[in-house]
Amino acid sequence: MSLQVAAKLILGRSFGIIPANRGVRVVGPYRFIRHPMYAGYTRTHMGFLLVMPSATNAALYALAFSFQVSRIFREERVLFADPGYRAFAERVPYRLVPGLF
**Across 8-17, 32-41, 90-99, least confident range:** 8-17
CA separation for the pair 84, 93 (Å, rounded): 14
Alpha helices in 25-91 (DSSP H): 36-51, 55-79, 83-91
Over the stretch 18-75, which tens digit does the pLDDT of each residue have? 666 666 777 788 888 999 988 988 998 999 999 999 999 999 999 999 999 999 999 8
Contact in structure between 32 and 100 (CB atoms under 8 Å): no
Domain spans in the chain, listed from the N-terminal domain onward: 2-91
Q: Would you say the pTM of this structure is higher than 0.85?
A: no
* 51: Cα within 13 Å, side-chain hemisphere: 6
